[in-house]
Structure 1
Amino acid sequence: MPHTKGGLVILKEMINSLPPSEQKIATYILNNPEESILLTALSLGEKSQTSSAAVIRLCKSLGFSGFQELKIRVAGDLRVETVEEYRDIERNEDYKNIIDKVTSNTIQTLRETVDIMSIKNLEQAVTALTNAKSILFIGFGASYIAARDAEQKFMRINKNVFSFSDVHIAATAIANKGPDDVVVGISFSGNTQEAVKLLQLAKHKNATTISITKYGNSQVNQISDIQLYTSAAREATFRSGATSSRIAQLHVIDILLMCLASKEYDETIKHLDETREAISFLRDKS
């Protein structure tokens, strides 16, 4: 099985959006993970005062193939050393403590993002980007930082790539796209209406759509052909414009880039060398 961790993370991130019976099961697992992985669907249903059918529905809601995958993922989480919860800063806190908290939160977000990543979806996204005639990254607010970063990085390996934060300019660009093009929508919440509308337009034009959102059901990932997820990054009061979630988005962009670069290794090295030479040319004194 390609995934061996991430069960507890996904349960925590999805629990508030689940139906009542599935919430009861999720709560039971989160409170009793060691016991839960030893239970059958029937016994877990009884323990959580629901039913085996509700357990199966929960697995489907979480995006798992079945109860066995849920148990394997939770078991994998239990084998990993316990990590502290996301921590907020306090009034007039010591700078060393702030450094430690921000660093700990970022590391945990990256770990959780990797744990919930679908290798199958990643492969599909890389294939789509590899074959794309053009690539458009769209994002708004803090998510535009990731879109702009993606544009700069993919441009260096000679991809026909653009990023947009203006909805009207993005719509104009998408209007001329088709089946050979890819539109990537980046939205932490997955419900940014500008991103939703633009992806709907891209679908209407038969372009391939990829979403990068937090894990869970959202308008953006429901529209998209290929879904990539980041950890929900339960950020505390002082988010500073989405700190951990922004870094998680950048991490997914880097993973996409490196997978694509590995697939087109020789061409990538050639393009990177050429871009380095171009920068060196600009720096050289005449």
Structure 2
Amino acid sequence: MLLMRLQRELENLSKSERRIAEVILADPETAVHATTAEIARRAEVSDPMVSRLCRTMGCKGFPEFKVQLAQSLASDTSFVTQSVSIGDDADTYIHKLIGANQAALDYLRSELDTATIEKAVDMLNAAKRIEIFGMGGCSSIAQDAQHKLFRLGTPTIAYEDNLKQRMAAAAADEDTLILFISFTGRTQAMIDTAHTAQAAGAKVIAICDPTSPLAQACDLVITSGSELEDTTIYVPMQTRIMILTIVDILATGMALKRSPEIDQRLRQMKETLEGTKVPKA
């Protein structure tokens, strides 16, 4: 746990790093929501020293440090999520979960590769058909992705049943793009289906752990940030938020590429829904 490591390494840190560690240890819950500049100001050190402490503690940067810090605040972790503890009251778990989600999005901001996102948007934009595969907890994310993307003019469908996924992958061609969404990237059925899709000539993108077997079977991989949360034990929460955000980013990028032509289409779709709503009071 990060808090325990910070306390244990306190005497071995440089003077500036120790001042930062003491600020964090004094009020870790506030530190989870703080910026690098805020921590540096409280410790009376320069901003780069905060990043240096993060690397000393084995983190790539402050966003990852904050995620681990949020997780460390749980002493008796629940199997629901590692971000809360058994016995937490509503006020505590509300703040813990929001803090963990904020830290996860900060981590995603630092880890997402702009070039990879641009390439993924280009591939989506060029496809004549988009299919989205998600199983288990990822099936609802796949449905959300379909809801976002089908409005942009390309025929889009989401499959959660693996038998349908396998058939669709086998029937795909070079005009098809298949987007795989997976928390672990280690579900054998999805790995097999990705290989089938590639053999059929489809373009294949995955949102998953970039070190996973599924990632190796795809043309392009977008990190899901799943290394921050062990989804084989806990109900996916922070990982789910990060993947939903990635879907929003891809849909937005695709819409911007198709503007202004797509704007009229989206306007017409919104207008056709107006008659289905009860007027505001």
TM-score (ref. length: structure 1): 0.68
Distance change in 2, residues 1:104/1:266 (3 Å):
same
Distance apart, 1:272 and its partner CA: 1.4
Q: Deviations over 1:61-90 (max 9, x none)?
A: xxxxxxxxxx9x969965779623324322
Q: Check whether the contact 1:209–1:226 (CA below 8 A) recurs between aligned residues.
A: yes
Where structure 2 has 5 or more consecutive residues not aligned to the other structure, the ranges are 3-11, 15-51, 75-82
Greater relative contact order: 1 or 2 (C-alpha under 8 angstroms, separation 6 or more)?
1
Q: Which residue number in structure 2 is paired with residue 50 of structure 1?
A: none
1:268 deviates by: 2.7
Match of 1:213 in 2: 208
* Structure-1 residue corresponding to 2:223: 229
- 2:240 maps to which of 242, 246, 258: 246
Structure 1 stretch displaced more, 228-237 or 253-262: 228-237
Work out which of the residue numbers 244, 259, 269 in structure 1 matches 2:263.
Answer: 269
Instruction: Tell whether the 8 Å contact from 2:176 to 2:202 is kept in structure 1 after alignment.
Output: yes
Once the two structures are TM-superposed, the CA of residue 236 in structure 1 deviates from its matched residue by 8.8
Report the counterpart of residue 122 of structure 1 in structure 2: 117
Identify the match of residue 259 of structure 1 among 253, 273, 276.
253
Change (3 A) 1:168 1:82: closer
Structure 1 SS opposite 2:85: coil
Paired with 1:108 and 1:211, the residues of 2 have a C-alpha distance of 23
Change (3 A) 1:74 1:138: same
SS of 2:88's partner is coil
The 5-angstrom pairing of residues 147-186 of structure 1 reads 147-186=142-181
The 1-side partners of 2:271 and 2:277 are apart by: 10
Q: Report the AA paired with residue 70 of structure 2.
A: E
Q: Deviations over 1:150-204 (max 9, x none)?
A: 0011112222101111011122222221111100111111111121111111101
Cα distance in 2 between the residues matched to 1:112 and 1:78: 8
TM-superposed CA distance for 1:137, in Å, is 0.6
Matches within 5 A, 1:1-286: 83=66, 84-86=69-71, 87=74, 88-214=83-209, 216-231=210-225, 232-234=227-229, 239=234, 241-283=235-277
- Give the TM-score taking structure 2 as reference length: 0.69
The percentage of aligned residue pairs carrying the same residue is 23
